[in-house]
Structure 1
Amino acid sequence: MTVRLTLLCAAAPVERDVRFDDVPLDERALRQARAAAAALPSAATLYAAPSQRCTQTARALGWDAATAEPELRDIDMGSWQGRALSEVAACDGAGLAAWMSDPQAAPHGGESVAEMCRRVAAWLDALSADAGRILAVVEQAVARAAVVHVLDAPQRSFWNVDVPPLSAVHLTGRNGRWNLRMGDVSSGAPVDGDD
């Protein structure tokens, strides 16, 4: 049996400065998530990463029964947690440059990109072959890590995957082999071959 997994990137509030933080969604983001709900396929299994923004996105989609999945959590930012990207760049520019160019680097004392990629890959590969259709609201970093794993791409390509809020990554898997299926959740059109 084929696993059909859609990773939906969480909605995001309008921010002036990117922060390494879990901020609550504003009304505009919640409205956008509610609008996306009709375009998603139905699924037997619903997951949401444990962050506030993923939980709020799942609720806005009407997923009251979504299971919080700790393996889908955002990258652990260690000492940078809660800080603005501009602040980190000013205080630890060399560390930020290392973190964004070397997947093994963790200058913040948290999780490296490589560690996160391994965590997400392990979660994907542990999904039961008879899981059927799964929908999950995830962090941008989780969607990036999933694409890197599915394409068997080098981990340094993590930063080359652009995942806007409320974009969908469609994956199909069977027997330890995954495929990336392109699709647009906002169009309402089903991905070819979906039920």
Structure 2
Amino acid sequence: MTVRVIFVSPAIGPELRQARFADEASAYGGGAADGGAPHGGDALDEAGARAARALRPDLPVASRRFASPSARCRRTAEELGLADALAEPALSGCAPGRWRGRTLDEVAAEEPEALMAWLADPAAAPHGGESVRQLCARVAGWLDGTAAGLTGRLLVVAEPDTVRAAAVHALGVPDHAFRRLDVPPLAVVELTGRSGRWNLRLG
């Protein structure tokens, strides 16, 4: 049976505006076990919340709803009228290890070689968290496992890098393409298909 998976990226908030690595624990590589405490700050700002509410009427009815467990995705889901969305750890963003809570500019100034390695090599995880390759494999596993086992329409509020990983898997392109995909706030990306065969729908 065919399933339709509609991904929605989170609305704008302080972390996205500041290009800051997520400042909360993750279930995948570099979460609470690395000694950090999740606090996350404000998930969305008022402009982001307002934009999410404006999108609500355009979203289709779905038989099941999921969300990345981050504060900004949970808050976006609420503003979209999806407060009952199931928090799904497999849809977490890429765990940034010791870079959690730091801005991209801060990391560039303090660890330029490590940052360049992370940007250039999908297998690199110099921060001690999760590599892009691991993220792509995790999201592919959720699509081909959990999502493919369902029918109808699924609505998923997910981190931008989770959406990028889903698109990489659907298109069957190398994980180096991950960095070539841009996912702006409240982007809607639709996949249709089943395990092992997904189509990316544009427009």
> Shared fold by TM > 0.5?
yes
Task: Choose the corresponding residue for 2:181, options 154, 157, 161.
Answer: 161
Contact 1:6/1:171 (8 A) holds in 2: yes
Compute the displacement of 1:173 (Å).
1.0
Compute the displacement of 1:132 (Å).
1.2
Rounded Cα–Cα distance in structure 2 between residues aligned with 1:46 and 1:73: 15
Task: Choose the corresponding residue for 2:131, options 112, 137, 145.
Answer: 112
Say yes or no: does 1:142 pair with 2:162.
Answer: yes
Contact 2:74/2:83 (8 A) holds in 1: no
2:191 alignment counterpart: 171
Alignment of 1:51-66 (within 5 A): 51-66=70-85
Structure 1: which 4+ aligned runs deviate by more than 3 Å?
Answer: none
Compute the RMSD of aligned alpha carbons.
1.3
- DSSP-derived class of the 2:157 partner: strand
TM-score by length of 2: 0.87
- DSSP-derived class of the 1:65 partner: coil
Amino acid at match of 2:50: R
How many aligned positions are there? Answer: 183
Rounded Cα–Cα distance in structure 1 between residues aligned with 2:162 and 2:64: 18
Rounded Cα–Cα distance in structure 1 between residues aligned with 2:56 and 2:192: 21
Deviates more, 1:85-94 or 1:15-24: 15-24
User: Which whole-Å deviations, capped at 9, do the CAs of 1:15-73 have from their partners, x for residues lacking one?
Assistant: 65311025510111000000011111110100111000000000001112111011111
User: Which whole-Å deviations, capped at 9, do the CAs of 1:110-139 have from their partners, x for residues lacking one?
Assistant: 000000000000000002444210000000
TM-score by length of 1: 0.90
1:91 alignment counterpart: 110
Rounded Cα–Cα distance in structure 1 between residues aligned with 2:12 and 2:112: 25
Contact 2:144/2:195 (8 A) holds in 1: no
- Give structure 2 stretches of 5+ with no counterpart: 23-39
Alignment of 1:27-46 (within 5 A): 27-46=46-65
User: Which whole-Å deviations, capped at 9, do the CAs of 1:138-162 have from their partners, x for residues lacking one?
Assistant: 0000000001111111101101000
